Every structure is written in structure tokens, then in C-alpha cells.
Amino acid sequence: MSHDAAHDSAVLLGGRYRLGPALGAGGMASVYRSRDMLLGREVAIKVYRSAALDQAEIDRQEAEIRTIAGLNHPGLVTVLDAGVYLPHPDTPTIFLVMELLSGGSLHERLLRGRLESLEAALLGYDIASALNYLAERNVVHRDIKPGNILLVTYARTDTRIHAKLIDFGIAKSDGRPEITTPGTATGTAQYLSPEQASGEEVGPPSDVYSLGLVLLECITGARAFPGDSIPSAVARLMRDPEVPKDLPEEWRTLLGAMTARKPEDRPALSDVVLDLRTIAVGELARAHDPAHDPSDAAEPADTNGPDVASS
């Protein structure tokens, strides 16, 4: 069955979901703005491709659903439902129902220019917190990139934009069978870690590296390893990304450590969370008092996120 069949306006997926306009498409699935006819709310539905399915592809689809169904974190998109559309016994189509986030992606935001230091630190804090949560549950995302980070404002009174991580199509979870071929690179070339580019086993330090490249792009406005897939992937095996010398010292230190070529030289995700929080708190203090020295600030007592309500 094609996506067009599932998208027929007369079809209700799972007996309740009507697909609307496409929000995006990838190699394995398309995402649609949809409506839950039972509860009367807007949702996002990821419809997996069913054409020429082989067992490996079915395993990959099911693994993504199993991985994210058990996760609950403010920095991760919320899964609401899942099901199988079966117009014909030999062409099952798996679909995944998620909360609809209408703020666009970080990729779309970066098309308008780089982020200010505070905004980059806050968004980075959100994603690092989510990745730390995943790491504690032995899950490695493996495809951290601006297109997989969605932006959201929770309420009109909210004083900042928040970030949520999506797309667990190639995530690796301990206890689940590996669904990619050993020795092959997985992920998006411009944001791969060196170990991913080499086709080696990856762990949480791989996500640290990729997030470091995303943050570097956020505050410089340029990709560290641009170009076509193969040259971009190979480049990080030969050199470190260039961290501009005119960046504040705390950014230079953090980004340099996050993008170290050896996984063991990178900071733990829990340390990245604290460092980004410290940078954000320092930026907030400077905004209120330009003469403020962030080194004088007490270390935050919790990791619930910088309080920007007074900014």
C-alpha cells in the first residue's frame, strides 16, 4: 500500500485518525499533520513506508516504536498511540501518533541566522538533558541534527523557546537486536561522530559529539563539516572542528571537549547539562548586569532548567 492510500480522506487510521497535509518526509516514513476524530485534537502521525518491506525494515520500524513508547521526558516528543493499517494482508502500514509541535525545527530556525549565546545554551540544555535521560536508559539516539530538533513554546506567558528531540529510527537500545549492518555508518553525514563515520560501535559519547557540532552551528551559523556526505564524514577523521577563538571561553572549552575525536576525551552528558546550564545562568546575569562575572555565581542547586521567568 502506498502513502496515498493511507492518505485517502475516507480512511481513518486506527478508526480515529484522519491524515492532513504532510509535514515532512524521509527515507523510511512521512509525517502528517492529522486529526484525532475521537478526541477532537490535532496530532502528528508518522506513517512508515510499506512498499517492498523486508524483515529488517519491519524490525527497524517496530524497534523505533518500542524504544520511544517507554520514554517520558520534556525534551522528547510524546508518543500518544501506534497501530497498523491493513487494507490488504500482505501490505501492512505501521503508524505512530505523536504530539503535534508547531514551532518548526531548529534547521528551519538556523536558515534565518545563528542563535544568540543564551538561546543556544537553553536549547542545548534541553537536548543534553534529554540525551542524558536516554543514556541512563542505555539508549543512544545516533542521529542528532538540527532537523531532528523541534522548537516549542509551552504557553503565551513562556519566556523562552524549548527544544524537543524526535526521530528514533536508528536509535540503539541495549537489549534490542542491532538492526543496522555492522561496520556501516548510521546517521547524517554532517553530524556524525568519528566513530560513527568509521562504522564502529557507538555509545553516549557519540551523541555528545553530534550535539557539539549542532551547538557550534547554532552559535556560528555555519556547519563545521559542510559538503557532500562522504567528504564530510571523512573530514572529522582527519581534523577537529574549528571552534572560533573569539567565542567566550566557556563555549570554547565546552565545544572543544564535546567534539574531541576520541570518545573517552569527551565529557559525560550529565556534565554537558551542567555546563550548558552554567552558561545560560551566566548569560542571564550579564543581561541584567553587564559587569557581572559568571565565575562569581553559585553553582545551580538543581537541574530542572534555568529559570528565565524574570528575564
Catalytic residues: 143
Q: Please, are residues 29 and 142 in contact by the beta-carbon 8 Å criterion?
A: no
Cα distances (angstroms) measured from residue 265 to each of 196, 256, 258: 16, 10, 8
Question: What is the distance of C-alpha 57 from the center of its chain?
Answer: 21
The three cell numbers locating residue 245: 577563538
- Of 188, 230, 223, 215, which Cα lies nearest the Cα of 26? 188
Please state, as a whole number, how many other Cβ atoms lie within 10 Å of the Cβ of residue 295: 8
Give the span between the Cα atoms of 98 and 166, in whole angstroms: 10
Spell out the residues 6+ positions from residue 47 whose beta carbon is closer than 8 angstroms to its own.
Answer: 3, 6, 7, 13, 19, 29, 30, 31, 32, 93, 94, 95
Nearest to 171 by CA among 77, 55, 271: 77
Query: What does the alpha-carbon distance between residue 190 and residue 53 come to, in Å, rounded to a whole number?
Result: 28
Nearest to 290 by CA among 300, 298, 282: 282
| DSSP character at residue 192 | -
